Amino acid sequence: MRTRVGIVGAGPAGLMLAHLLRLAGIDSVVLERRSREYVEKRVRAGVLEHPTVELLRETGAGERLDREGLPHHGFALRFDGVDHRVDLSGLTGHPITVYGQQEVVKDLIALRLAAGEPLLFDVSDVALHDLTTDAPRITWRGADGTAQELTCDVVAGCDGFHGVARQSIPQSVLTIFERAYPFAWLGVLARTAPSADELIYTYHERGFALHSMRSPEITRLYLQVPPEEDIADWSDARIWDELSARLATRDGFTLTSGPILDKGVTPMRSFVAEPLRHGRLFLAGDAAHIVPPTGAKGMNLAIADVRLLARAVEEFVRNKDERLLDSYSADCLKRVWRAEHFSWWMTSMLHLAPDADPFDRRLQLAQLRYTAASDPARTSLAENYVGLAYERL
């Protein structure tokens, strides 16, 4: 097989890159080790930045998003038992949109298959070869076990943190920046109407909690727990009791409970691998960087990456101009490190470290009170949360 761009991974990064390339008339092949059913049901992020929403709309991938997505014009910082609203639209002119990552994936898969473009699920033994040549190769076994090989001009590694793409780069070439946090999120998906119209980020003496949603019928909630926490120790009743305790307010906020459809514990880390390029291999999304979920940046960063990569590939294919390919890593990293800082800042402000003493907690409350009361501080928070315009970076 021969194609212009071989894409490893059918998450938001890989699928969006394939979509952008198709619109530019550039052929690609997408390989995914999981089944289509698994990929479309994988519960991940749910907040889309304004620039992400605009890009999906502009490229014809926003029809269902506009019908079913939930625009949010603000969110609450809850501490001292009181809500302090951050008016996103009032401060920036733009909302965010709650629309699950798996829904974006479904939309992009449907567009790809409707166009008759190659999207191969259930592949195995993926390996990358000749990355520093002009004709890199990808080998794999298909769903039927048959050995396959693809030669291309460019390989896009969009296969996540544990994928083969980054592991195919010599460790001596990469510089790794990493921070593990001393807490995790216990996340639940519940079949119940949300208890509030907007997201609630809660600082509480028992630990952080987040009230979010996926639809008018499905609520997404999170609790801060130790990284080694065993989900088996958390019955549904215990989860609802703890959420009710942490989300309580002075004016009697009521948390609506319901059947829990899914629950799990996710450790939190910050991670960046530099550079995002090795020869003709380009990393995008979680293959290159991880952020704590507090700032809702992961999927948005992945889509910002491939927006730049698609433009660079188009210049390379149409005009034999490699300048954007050469600057891809540096251009992406500007946004990546801004998002890393914002996500670290929100995480540090809202979570209780196991070794936090009363001094640390007073500092956190001082930062929260200042952020809630200061117009410039709220504006900075809102601007970063809504998403910096692409041209700004």
Which residues are known to be catalytic?
72, 201, 293, 297, 385
List residues bridging with 138 in a β-sheet: 128, 150
In whole angstroms, give the CA distance from residue 37 to residue 46: 19
Q: Can you tell me the distance from the alpha carbon of 221 to that of 186, in angstroms, rounded to the nearest whole number?
A: 8
Q: Is residue 104 packed enough to be buried (19+ CB in 10 Å), middle (13-18) or exposed (0-12)?
A: buried
- The DSSP-derived string for 247-302 is T--TT---PPP--EEEEEEEEEEEEEEE-SEETTEEE-GGGTEE--GGG--HHHHH
**What sign does the CA torsion over 311, 53, 348, 213 have?**
negative
Provide the 3-class DSSP secondary structure of residue 96: strand
How many whole angstroms from its chain centre is CA 358? Answer: 33
Q: Which of 197, 343, 371 is nearest to 270 (CA)?
A: 343
> DSSP strand E in 45-198: where?
47-48, 70-72, 74-79, 82-87, 96-98, 119-120, 124-129, 137-141, 147-151, 154-157, 175-191
Burial string for 345-383 (b: 16+ CB within 10 Å, else e) reads: bbbbbbbbeeeeeeeeeeebeebbeebbeeeeebeebbb
| Residues contacting 245, CB < 8 A, separation 6+ | 204, 206
Report how far residue 270's alpha carbon sits from residue 268's, in angstroms, rounded to the nearest whole number: 7
- What are 49's two structure tokens? 């930045």
